[in-house]
Amino acid sequence: MHIDVFDRYRAGESVLHRLDARVKVALTGLFILSNVLLPDGAWPAFALALALIVGLSVLAGLGPGFAILRSFVALPFALAAVTTLFSLPGQPLFNLRLGPWLLTATDAGALRFSSILIRSLLSVQAAILLTTTTSFPDLIHALRHLRLPRTLVSVIAFMYRYLFVLADEALRLLRARAARSAHLPGRKGGGGLLWRARVAGNMAGQLFIRSFERSDRVYNAMLARGYRGHLYTLTPHHMRRQDWLAAAGGVLLLLFLQALARA
């Protein structure tokens, strides 16, 4: 397998890397929940949350802008909340005409939209920091210890594991199509749009059939090797004193964020 675009883990020896995965998963979830509960326009709390992300990135040896730059991948999804600019009553800021409709942006809508945008980016930054400093087997182990349903954890684990296999399989199908599509220099191979749509449909069907057959073979092989629904890792996963201290400190910091936002 040579597809590693899905794997964002960066090995390291920082304090954040050595922290127990259960603590990191729990604090990340609480951080995202804390962002959701922050009121609109809580700028000091937003700034402190951003400073926390930057500080943890530096502590992990990733650089101050690591999570910030990568969080913009969520920007198109956060922009779906742009309708809040025009849906809340308040002081008019500007008008936008769309055909027969005249939309008026208000200060309350701008405050809501900017707050949603900041919350989304901060939450994604926390998730990026988690996946960058925690290996996927440790993440799965942490989810299991945090009492998520075993079936759900297994589905997540196998989905992640075989995304790499499916990506390689899709590349082989594309390579086979290119090898069978003659083309002139400077022009794309194959036929027109209808031909490409038919070939793409056949490729999707072939990928589904191969994936289904492979999943059956893999499952039977795992059962033959003693798989009973539990995934093992090489990490001992013992909560140490520093793990408990980090968990307590993180909870206290998030409580301080909530108090700061409402002060």
**pTM value surpassing 0.85:** no
pLDDT of residue 3: 47
Greatest CA span in the chain, whole angstroms?
69
32 within 8 A of 121, measured Cβ to Cβ = no
Q: Is 104 helix (H, G, I), strand (E, B) or coil?
A: strand
- The enclosing H or E element of 84 equals helix 84-87
Task: Pull the structure tokens for residue 113.
Answer: 């939209």
Low-confidence residues of the chain: pLDDT under 70: 1-7, 181-192, 229-236
* The predicted structure's pLDDT at residue 50: 93
Residue whose C-alpha is closest to residue 123's, from 67, 182, 189: 67
Helix (H) or strand (E) holding 25: helix 21-37
CA distance 123 to 129: 10
Chain-centroid distance, C-alpha 51: 20
* Interval 102-119: pLDDT, tens: 888 888 888 999 999 999
Per-residue pLDDT tens over the stretch 154-163: 888 888 777 7
pLDDT of residue 2: 47
- The whole-number pLDDT of residue 1 equals 46
- Written as six digits, the tokens of 150 are 């075993």
Contact 88, 108 (CB under 8 A): yes
Question: What was the pLDDT predicted at 44?
Answer: 92
- Residue 234 is encoded by which pair of tokens? 């090489």
| Encoded amino acid at 163, one letter | L
